């Protein structure tokens, strides 16, 4: 079963999508299995990260922006703006797909873990995530 999940990501940063994914897992009705997510974009990514303390999210966003700055004079792929090439680099440094076990009908995430769409553009718009749930 493959489902397309559409996430509005109107601003750069981490967007918690755990509840939306969990809802799809529950609808699938499997007691155990695997949930695989794949983002169909080259300037956004998926990660599993701490969901308890918002400062972790802020630190991750700031760190990656320092690591991959905008307006680097070495970039040649710049026709879509100063955040375009950095968004592609950030996407390869993170993940375009994730797999999470399903246990007792729920995502088998750790107590402090959440699933995030990481929008790397200043205004990415709607992002499509393909979700495959199997038992």
Q: Where are the domains of the chain?
A: 2-70+78-134
Q: How many CB atoms lie within 10 A of CB 68?
A: 18
* Confidence band for 9, pLDDT divided at 50, 70 and 90: confident
pLDDT at 1 exceeding the cut of 80? no
Query: Facing residues of 44 across strands?
Result: 119
In the predicted model, what is the mean pLDDT of the chain? 96
Q: What is the mean pLDDT of residues 106-122?
A: 97
Output the pTM of the full model: 0.95
Q: List the CATH code of the domain at 2-70+78-134.
A: 2.60.120.460
Mind listing the pLDDT tens digit for each residue in 20-43? 999 999 999 999 999 999 999 999
List pLDDT tens digits, range 62-91.
999 999 999 999 999 998 999 999 999 999
Count of Cβ atoms closer than 10 Å to residue 127 Cβ: 23
Q: How far apart (Å, rounded) are the C-alpha atoms in residues 39 and 60?
A: 20
């Amino acid at each position: 079963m493959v489902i397309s999940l559409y996430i509005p990501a109107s601003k750069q940063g981490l967007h918690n999508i755990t509840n939306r994914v969990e809802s799809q897992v529950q609808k699938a009705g499997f007691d155990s299995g695997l949930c695989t997510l794949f983002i169909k974009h080259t300037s956004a990514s998926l990660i599993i990260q701490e969901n308890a303390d918002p400062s972790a999210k802020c630190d991750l966003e700031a760190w990656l922006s320092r690591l991959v700055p905008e307006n680097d004079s070495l970039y040649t792929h710049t026709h879509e703006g100063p955040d375009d090439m950095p968004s592609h680099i950030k996407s390869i440094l993170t993940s375009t797909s994730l797999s999470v076990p399903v246990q007792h009908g729920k995502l088998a995430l750790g107590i402090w873990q959440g699933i995030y769409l990481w929008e790397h553009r200043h205004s990415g718009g709607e992002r499509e995530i393909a979700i495959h749930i199997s038992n």
